[in-house]
Structure 1
Amino acid sequence: MSSFLYTVSSFFILDNKGERVISKYYNNDFDNLQKQRAFEKKVFDKTSKVNFGGEITLLDNYLIVYKAFSNIIIYMIGDSDQNEIALLYVLNSFVDTLQNLFENSQINKKLILDGINYTLLTLDEIIDGGVIMESDSTVVADRVGIKLPENDDLEESINKTVTSVKEQFFSFLR
């Protein structure tokens, strides 16, 4: 049964030995760690032969879209009735966003783990509860890349904002 919304069942990144780097499951198909690890091993065993690039495959009624890098493989998993082109586009958007945030560095395990906050925020901006919410990497990078000023600058910025609001309020009352 096709839906208006494109969804993702799970997302995970495995290293070149099949060990979990990051994972996020959006449905109850794999409701415990043991089932998740078994599924990840099955997926890795089927997909680990690719050197670089991306692929699309089916496994146990799941559509698997993945992209291999130097020492990690990034997976986007959907139900078999999902659109593989849409899943591939979302996967590429995720990768493009990370490359943008990490200033075009090569995607690898160290980069993902060192920038875990950006990695998880990127994932959360793209997928919410399994529903694909945004796929434009520029928009996602802008949302994720917002940096707050340092504490000293933050206090000064708040004071300037409060002063500005007061001035605008009093000028409105006149």
Structure 2
Amino acid sequence: MDTCPSIKNILLLDSEGKRVAVKYYSNDWPTNSAKEAFEKAVFTKTQKTNARTEAEIAMLEGNVIVYKFVQDLHFFVTGGEDENELILATVLQGFFDAVGLLLRLLHYVIVYFLI
């Protein structure tokens, strides 16, 4: 039995379900087409939900998916069906915060060089 939680993937998709950034940590999806099919299934299952203020949880193909939407970005963290949702939500929040910091930094750099 594993005592250390594991993340299967982290996905950042746009408002149409296309990849912005993805990272897979397991071999559950061995080919790129399998990964893209999983991303499409995740997007389709979650697109009609309202995960704008708090993280939501869904089950898909034996995986726990914790997700959150902000503007036109969709953030997802996937773990096995036995993973703790609070751990996955913490990873999601860390990923969300990191992307936010990077985008703010990029904004300041662009403004600095344009002025």
TM over 0.5: yes
Structure 1 20/100 Cα, relative in aligned 2: closer, same or farther at 3 Å?
A: closer
Deviation track 1:55-102 (CA, whole Å, cap 9, x = no partner) reads 111111000001101101011000011000100011111212333444
- Count matched residues: 106
Establish whether residue 98 from structure 1 lines up as the match of residue 88 from structure 2: no
Alignment match, 2:26 = 27
Name the aligned partner's letter for residue 88 of structure 1.
Answer: A
Where relative contact order (Cα < 8 A, 6+ residues apart) is larger, the structure is 2
Instruction: Give me the whole-angstrom Cα distance separating, in 2, the residues matched to 1:93 and 1:13.
Output: 13
Name the aligned partner's letter for residue 66 of structure 1.
Answer: Y
Equivalent positions of 1:108-123 (< 5 A) are none
Alignment match, 1:138 = none
Contact kept? 1:56, 1:64, Cα under 8 Å:
yes
Structure 1 101/40 Cα, relative in aligned 2: closer, same or farther at 3 Å?
A: closer
Greater percentage in helix: 1
Secondary structure, counterpart of 1:30 in structure 2: coil
Which structure's CA Rg is the greater one? Answer: 1
Alignment match, 1:7 = 6
Gap runs ≥5 in structure 1: 115-174
**What percent identity do the matched residue pairs reach?**
36
Establish whether residue 17 from structure 1 lines up as the match of residue 16 from structure 2: yes
Instruction: Give me the whole-angstrom Cα distance separating, in 1, the residues matched to 2:81 and 2:58.
Output: 10
Alignment match, 2:86 = 85
Instruction: Give me the whole-angstrom Cα distance separating, in 1, the residues matched to 2:64 and 2:75.
Output: 14
Greater percentage in strand: 2
Equivalent positions of 1:49-88 (< 5 A) are 49-51=48-50, 52-53=52-53, 54-88=55-89
Instruction: Give me the whole-angstrom Cα distance separating, in 2, the residues matched to 1:83 and 1:4.
Output: 11
Instruction: Give me the whole-angstrom Cα distance separating, in 2, the residues matched to 1:83 and 1:19.
Output: 27
Gap runs ≥5 in structure 2: 111-115
Contact kept? 1:50, 1:68, Cα under 8 Å:
no
Cα deviation, residue 6, structure 1: 1.2
User: What TM-score, normalized to structure 2?
Assistant: 0.82
RMSD: 2.2
Secondary structure, counterpart of 1:27 in structure 2: coil
Secondary structure, counterpart of 1:42 in structure 2: helix
Alignment match, 1:41 = 40
